[in-house]
Structure 1
């Protein structure tokens, strides 16, 4: 369903019990004890048809945990020179230091027109500390258009999963893309080109193409009410509205925000990006509580539209 939110004892006999009666009582007590133990075991063990989610990472989330500047994982980082890659301009990989929990999903993030990876660098450790491998990239040139940025995001994911020093930490079947401005337009392009992506988050995105009915990737479109470069009326809103209504999709419009709000640490962007990535890359339904019921308008949210995540 599409949703929209704005602003006594029995059977006793007389007489002393005989030996057979004592044996029956001892047998009955033993049977009851074994049944109780079996019941406890059943309670503590997962039910037969409810296997645990193998992609779940980290402790149960709270509002405080997803709004925090850092999550439960310590983070390391590695620089990737543009000279060592093809198809994009290098970047920085942020990843959970520990390997105790197995592999992680991964996200590539593109900056916008004229910008470099430093403009979206804050997202690297913030998302990685929640249990993702995050690649903030530089583009081949700072003037690359959205279609090119989409191809570069995919090239960065391919490098990350096939050649990078952290490739063994990544589950190559669980990948997503994000981007700011033309990089957000690139995230839409990447999702259109590679339907196997698990999540896409365009941030105050810019693209001449306004319709995206081909996208099959769960998509969170983030706009800003004060955006004069990519106004929501001609960018984020039509992007969202053109997505298939059957798709897991949402539209978050930031309140009192500009086109460049995603270039600085922002709790609202982080909170809903983490929830979206966790729900769709990690298939972690513990994060549905932050997406459904739909967030209501607040000091930081002008508007939120979408549907509650579909359950498989």
Structure 2
């Protein structure tokens, strides 16, 4: 839910040092003719097999080549950047800094893939994008108890980079069953929709069953992705207390895409709102703002673009004993557990 998230206390982004995610190699000549002298790999080094768990050896000549090419990219105009991206059949939309990052990561992937192909099995098979809508009042007074009224999930396949399926159910609030006019106008969720909906425990059970049917946590690895910290650390946390449920184990860790976006594109926090991220990436919002499902789909579009640009989206936040914590980027990638319905308190 977009509006109350903006009141989350300001925090600086931790350094994450995300590595580039590999993609298909383009046939043809090296990316930059001007850098032919610095684009030759030591073929003996190509034959070496190093474990993915070992830290990169930055003394390797390939990193000097990447650094030199990054300097060349920094001197390019926006038109030159777009022309080069078009040459490699890459997306040419976005502001200049985004185009630079896209081109740098393409070249980095090319050089590192020549040296050692990365193992796609080390990454999540699916990302579940979740953006709850909750009861709210104008001004978001601190005393208001936010209850979830829309539970959406967008299932993003990280191999095909396509939205494979969606889940959506409305929820009938218990404490404040009457929605405010502000909430109705903001979310587009009518009083009739929530009056006819199930209460949260039943909806959560439906979501768990749906995720299990998709093989998440058993046949396929997955993680949850949200637009900020509030969906899990506040809305779901509060709702579980209201519904007298234990907090679900599968939702204890997630990717905060705002934090990932800020670290990857090197932008301040005030440029990581959903609408701003879309704009900076050259995309328009598709659907109705503050619809949980439409928000989730648009967040998934941002995730796709970031993966295409070379960002390895990974868990960066978790909830531990009700406290929001940052997860280090050096933590090994590990999928969420099989979804289970939590016990009642």
TMscore range, shorter length: under 0.3
Higher strand share: 1
Higher helix share: 2
How does the TM-score come out when normalised to structure 1?
0.28
How does the TM-score come out when normalised to structure 2?
0.26
Q: Which structure: larger Rg?
A: 1
